[in-house]
Chains A and B, each alone.
Chain A
Amino acid sequence: MTQKGNRGSVSPDEKSGDENGIFEIDNVIIRFAGDSGDGIQITGAIFSHDSAVVGHDISTLPDFPAEIRAPAGTLAGVSSFQLNFSSYDVHTPGDRPDVLVALNPAALKVHLKDLKHSGTLILNHDAFDATGLKKAGYELDPRNDGSLTGYQVYDFPITNLTVAAVESSWLSKKQAELSKNMFTLGIISWLYDRSLDALVERIEQLFSKKKPELAEANKLALQAGFNFADTVEVFTGRYRVSKADLPPGDYKRITGNEATALGFLAASELSGRDLFYASYPITPASDILHELSKLRHFGVRTFQAEDEIAAMGMALGAAWGGALGLTGTSGPGVALKSEFIGLAVMTELPVVIASIQRGGPSTGLPTKTEQADLLQAMFGRNGECPVPIVAPSTPGECFEMAIEAFRIAIKYMTPVFFLSDGYLANGSEPWRIPDQDELPDYEHNVCSVPEDYAPYQRDAETLARRWVVPGMPGLEHRIGGLEKEDVTGNVSYDSENHERMVGIRQAKVAGIAKDIPDLVVHGPQKGDLLVLGWGSTRGACRHAIENAQAKGYSVAGAQLRYLNPFPKNLGQVLSNFKYVLVPELNLGQLRLLLRAEYLVDIIGLNKVQGQPLLTSEVEEKIYQILDQNYPRAAQA
């Protein structure tokens, strides 16, 4: 196990570092926070990119208001970006930052509670005037009332220093102030021993074409911040995080939604079918539409539909015609699409619904993450209406599971849910670019049609019907939402036929279990506790398990990527442990399914704050269960 004690806080108590005053540390968690207009997201993105390029493993968490422009300086307008960069394999953006950059009082008020004890706090002195404090709801200046005791506080006049630094550019004072995020980035870069070369290059890439004067100002501010930190002599040391030991290969930084779009493009490549993506803009799924819209030269047809229902219908219509029909949305959109998903089940056409979950119910928390739409994907339709569900658990894994969603859809002629969430969608990590031979083979559903073809004849093994599309001569037939007669597909109101067809549709989806990988358990295969997660809780679960294992606990972990059907070994895995803990960002939806399916008592760890699960929360629960000999409900 890597020693993870030293998290890079700038503590004057520490020993003096190497001859340059640089300390080697394992990882650092930095949170940039400020007003939505302060350029926080871009600062975070630039520094994350640089961290990945210099060889760290990274994990990021952007957090921003739902309002595009909330009133400046208020708590509602605070935007933040957290980055965890490390010399070892990181699973999460980290629970609590070592360093908090607060560019205004509101950012301090919102985020101070998360900063680690004795953590580093960098403030923008200029923003802490009477107006700024009032907008943030501070009656007393927190810098003087003892609120910041115990932290390493650096209160710099960042706005004024920035304006002075970019004086040579022709910007107005107001425009010049906008570069204060880059000044701050300069300070951080010095503190963590980064060369500015790559950052400067990045700034040029981002700004040079559209706003050359801004690129110049940003570069000046970045350099000035770096120089300022170098000369000001208030920092007691600099820190260097060594490179992470990642598997060899070529890497790029990727967000979950980018990986999702790439995965669907890969499905098109693997199946030899054009991708048709219909979607209605919705947070946090819109980036998939943006990404795929750029890909006209791959023959990708994207369609911004008039509403969620239309997007689903168009995807299904395209699937009927033989294309890869895809739609993407979030919970409120799934609610609207559900009647059409039922039609896809009835007509047995391959279509994929990417649902990027957010806080609900109703409009809920559009920009925050949650996992409360599992039961919606599972059951949210009228009638007995089974739909397979796959769920990626890291941003990079969105690629793999998007490919998997279409593999299942085509092979089994069924709609499939791809269930991601806001945390995966916007979070990023270094992603090893796969080689061609690492991608799965799609078994081409080549339609060899027998003489006695009937629309609802089935493959004996998969129970899938054939994907016969309009334009194929001699096979004309009609499909629709009315119950089908077995084999012929004619409309049938026969009661026994209906029961048989309900059974076939259910058996077809259940049979997919034979065709998906077994659940992999990390750690002991039998023991006291299994932490079983799904989706984006993976990082927090994995990290917590590693910590508990290091302390000698008999804990194993597994992350379910197939939620309907479950992997066929799941029942056996559950029975190998005395306790099973299922952490999820809902009130216990997977737990409900597991209890129903396996009659195994399951302990839940449930959180619905719109925020990702923390390692410490899982760890605490593990110790609570194992230290106190947690009563099993069945016995209690």
Chain B
Amino acid sequence: MSVKAESVNTSKSKASSSYTKKDFTSDQNIRWCPGCGDYSILAQMQRVMPEICEEMDIPKENIVFVSGIGCSSRFPYYMNNYGFHTIHGRAPTIATGLRVSRPDLQVWIVTGDGDGLSIGGNHLMHCLRRNIDVKILLFNNRIYGLTKGQYSPTSEMGKKTKSSPFGTIEKPINPLSIAIASKASFIARAVDTDATNLRDILLKTARHRGSAFVEILQNCNVFNDKAFSSFTDKTVKEDRLIYLKDKEPITFGKNQEKALAMVTGESGLKEVGIVNTNEADVADILVHDESSPGTALAFLLAQLDEAEYPVPLGVFRNISKPLYGELLDEQITEVTNQKGKGEFFEHLRSGDIWTV
């Protein structure tokens, strides 16, 4: 703990088991557009927080929200926790400095596809590869909303927007692929409107020790409405979404009658394909494994082209790795054991000294 000088008024502290949703609702008016997917994410977060606090025995003043710039980054203002609305793309840096110097805090980062993957791509990658113990929620709406409708790094190729009236000529980036390449220790995907599964993912994210990365597909009803409806609409979602379950075959469809399997493609090489569970050889059907130390399966699932394949939701990867902050603190302990606790005035007098 590095906080020494403050006098903390503990009488205001509330038992971590007695919170309700209201305790996490700030007095600020919410400024998102009516119908925005962010409302749903906020509501789930406020609902799940009491459960997180109780289960992890953490008081709400120790839970912190850090954001960058963009619609999603207004999130901290609406949570009644400590919050920091920082600058564009840089939330992971503030969160890193805070978390590394304050191991007692639970730190959440709220970012978007522009904030996290365009201007802040560098920080996201390094935060994940270091396994800083922070929870990153990336609201992906595939558009710049706050600046009123330009394309984002996740907008599909050819998309017509205010800044691309003739269609974009650049390929989008896949957020989960970045997280996997950075070897994030927890990687998941959820949809804003799917309250139950979103709450479940938020809870799992809270439990994870290490860098957690969650892509939340979030609808911007003003500038990019129905961006995900081709697979999230009620009418199609049974055939278009996969809910990943650890150690279980990867199946989907109304009666889980379809599955992902390794099949022999036209080229003669193995590739992922969709099979009927009744007809396929069970050995070929992919079985999900969150805790696989390798990243091949997670990458394969993340790379599935949503035009041809169903879209996987849930936890892609969940492994245990040493935390950056813990390794740093271990070094501090180790060096202190070796050298003894540093004494400042002794240190001033170290080296070659002469007396005049």
Distance in Å: Cβ of A396 to nearest Cβ of chain B: 12
Most chain A C-beta atoms within 10 Å of own C-beta, residue among B12, B97, B353, B354: B97
CB pair A446–B76 under 8 Å, yes or no, is: no
Complex contacts, A424 vs chain B, CB 8 Å: none
Q: Does A628 contact B (CB under 8 A)?
A: no
7 other contacts beyond A247-B356, A475-B9, with CB at 8 A cut-off? A252-B353, A266-B344, A314-B96, A316-B97, A449-B9, A471-B104, A473-B14
Q: Does A578 contact B (CB under 8 A)?
A: no
CA distance A276 to B96 in the complex (A): 11
Q: Does B147 contact A (CB under 8 A)?
A: no
CB pair A471–B61 under 8 Å, yes or no, is: yes
CB pair B100–A314 under 8 Å, yes or no, is: yes
Of the candidates B97, B122, B339, B353, the one whose C-beta lies within 8 Å of that of A307 is B122
Q: Which of B82-120 contact A (CB under 8 A)?
A: 82-87, 90, 92-102, 104-105
Q: Does A250 contact B (CB under 8 A)?
A: yes
CB pair A320–B28 under 8 Å, yes or no, is: no
Of the candidates A311, A474, A475, A481, the one whose C-beta lies within 8 Å of that of B86 is A481
CB pair B123–A306 under 8 Å, yes or no, is: yes
CB pair A446–B87 under 8 Å, yes or no, is: no
Most chain A C-beta atoms within 10 Å of own C-beta, residue among B3, B64, B93: B93
Q: List 27 contacting pairs A-B, 8 Å CB cutoff, sorted by A.
A: A248-B356, A250-B355, A250-B356, A252-B349, A273-B3, A296-B332, A297-B332, A297-B336, A310-B90, A310-B122, A313-B94, A313-B96, A317-B93, A317-B97, A318-B100, A318-B101, A320-B98, A321-B98, A321-B105, A436-B345, A449-B7, A467-B5, A470-B64, A471-B105, A475-B9, A475-B12, A476-B61
Complex contacts, B332 vs chain A, CB 8 Å: 296-297, 299, 301
Complex contacts, A312 vs chain B, CB 8 Å: 93
Q: Does A66 contact B (CB under 8 A)?
A: no
Complex contacts, B307 vs chain A, CB 8 Å: none
Of the candidates A252, A296, A445, A476, the one whose C-beta lies within 8 Å of that of B80 is A476
Of the candidates B76, B105, B125, B348, the one whose C-beta lies within 8 Å of that of A478 is B76
Q: Does A315 contact B (CB under 8 A)?
A: yes
Complex contacts, B95 vs chain A, CB 8 Å: 317
CB pair A298–B101 under 8 Å, yes or no, is: no
Complex contacts, B81 vs chain A, CB 8 Å: 476
Distance in Å: Cβ of A203 to nearest Cβ of chain B: 13
Complex contacts, B85 vs chain A, CB 8 Å: 478-482
Q: Does A552 contact B (CB under 8 A)?
A: no
Q: Does B347 contact A (CB under 8 A)?
A: yes
Distance in Å: Cβ of A423 to nearest Cβ of chain B: 22
Of the candidates A273, A339, A448, the one whose C-beta lies within 8 Å of that of B2 is A273
CA distance A252 to B350 in the complex (A): 9
Q: Does A165 contact B (CB under 8 A)?
A: no
- A269 closest partner in B (C-beta): B344
Complex contacts, B80 vs chain A, CB 8 Å: 476
The interface of chain A, by Cβ under 8 A from chain B, is: 49, 52-53, 55, 246-253, 262, 265-266, 269, 271-274, 276, 278, 295-299, 301, 303, 305-307, 309-323, 325, 339-340, 342-343, 347, 432-434, 436, 444-449, 467-482, 490-491
CB pair B2–A446 under 8 Å, yes or no, is: no
Q: Which 7 A-B pairs have the closest CB atoms?
A: A313-B93, A474-B12, A317-B97, A480-B85, A314-B97, A298-B342, A478-B83
State whether A343 and B86 are in contact (beta carbons under 8 Å apart), knowing that A250-B354, A470-B64 are contacts in the complex.
yes
Complex contacts, B7 vs chain A, CB 8 Å: 446-449
State whether A272 and B5 are in contact (beta carbons under 8 Å apart), knowing that A297-B339, A299-B332, A476-B81 are contacts in the complex.
yes
Complex contacts, B3 vs chain A, CB 8 Å: 273, 321-322, 469, 471
Complex contacts, B6 vs chain A, CB 8 Å: 322, 446-447, 467-469, 472
Q: Does B351 contact A (CB under 8 A)?
A: yes
Distance in Å: Cβ of B6 to nearest Cβ of chain A: 4
Complex contacts, A474 vs chain B, CB 8 Å: 9, 12-13, 61
Distance in Å: Cβ of B10 to nearest Cβ of chain A: 6
Complex contacts, A266 vs chain B, CB 8 Å: 344
Distance in Å: Cβ of A29 to nearest Cβ of chain B: 22
CB pair B90–A251 under 8 Å, yes or no, is: no
Distance in Å: Cβ of A477 to nearest Cβ of chain B: 7
CA distance A306 to B125 in the complex (A): 10
Distance in Å: Cβ of B233 to nearest Cβ of chain A: 36
CB pair B9–A473 under 8 Å, yes or no, is: yes
- B65 closest partner in A (C-beta): A478
Of the candidates A251, A449, A473, the one whose C-beta lies within 8 Å of that of B356 is A251
How many positions in chain B have a CB within 8 Å of any CB in the partner chain?
71
Complex contacts, A325 vs chain B, CB 8 Å: 97
- A315 closest partner in B (C-beta): B97
State whether A276 and B100 are in contact (beta carbons under 8 Å apart), knowing that A305-B93, A310-B126 are contacts in the complex.
yes
Distance in Å: Cβ of B61 to nearest Cβ of chain A: 5
State whether A274 and B76 are in contact (beta carbons under 8 Å apart), knowing that A297-B335, A445-B5 are contacts in the complex.
no
CB pair A298–B10 under 8 Å, yes or no, is: no
Q: Does B340 contact A (CB under 8 A)?
A: yes
CB pair B2–A274 under 8 Å, yes or no, is: yes
CA distance A249 to B356 in the complex (A): 5
CA distance A472 to B63 in the complex (A): 11
State whether A321 and B97 are in contact (beta carbons under 8 Å apart), knowing that A307-B122, A471-B62, A472-B61 are contacts in the complex.
yes
CB pair B102–A471 under 8 Å, yes or no, is: yes
Distance in Å: Cβ of A319 to nearest Cβ of chain B: 8
Distance in Å: Cβ of A277 to nearest Cβ of chain B: 10
Of the candidates B347, B352, B354, the one whose C-beta lies within 8 Å of that of A298 is B347
CB pair B101–A323 under 8 Å, yes or no, is: yes
CB pair B340–A297 under 8 Å, yes or no, is: yes
- A477 closest partner in B (C-beta): B82
State whether A301 and B101 are in contact (beta carbons under 8 Å apart), knowing that A251-B355, A273-B2, A322-B3 are contacts in the complex.
yes
Of the candidates B5, B102, B125, B355, the one whose C-beta lies within 8 Å of that of A321 is B102
Q: Which of B298-356 contact A (CB under 8 A)?
A: 328, 331-332, 334-336, 338-342, 344-345, 347-349, 351-356
Complex contacts, A478 vs chain B, CB 8 Å: 26, 28, 76-77, 82-85
Complex contacts, B331 vs chain A, CB 8 Å: 296
State whether A273 and B4 are in contact (beta carbons under 8 Å apart), knowing that A251-B353, A317-B97, A321-B105 are contacts in the complex.
yes
Complex contacts, A269 vs chain B, CB 8 Å: 344
CA distance A474 to B64 in the complex (A): 14
Complex contacts, A317 vs chain B, CB 8 Å: 66, 84, 93-99, 101
CB pair A476–B60 under 8 Å, yes or no, is: yes
Distance in Å: Cβ of B58 to nearest Cβ of chain A: 11
Complex contacts, A473 vs chain B, CB 8 Å: 8-10, 12-14, 59, 61
Distance in Å: Cβ of A446 to nearest Cβ of chain B: 5
Q: Mark B1-30, 1 if CB is under 8 A from A, else 0.
A: 011111111101110000000000010100
Distance in Å: Cβ of B60 to nearest Cβ of chain A: 7
Of the candidates B8, B28, B87, B344, the one whose C-beta lies within 8 Å of that of A471 is B8
- B341 closest partner in A (C-beta): A297
CB pair B61–A251 under 8 Å, yes or no, is: no
Of the candidates A53, A276, A301, the one whose C-beta lies within 8 Å of that of B354 is A53
Complex contacts, A309 vs chain B, CB 8 Å: 90, 93, 123
CA distance A295 to B102 in the complex (A): 18
Complex contacts, A278 vs chain B, CB 8 Å: 97
CB pair A310–B93 under 8 Å, yes or no, is: yes
Complex contacts, B9 vs chain A, CB 8 Å: 449, 472-475
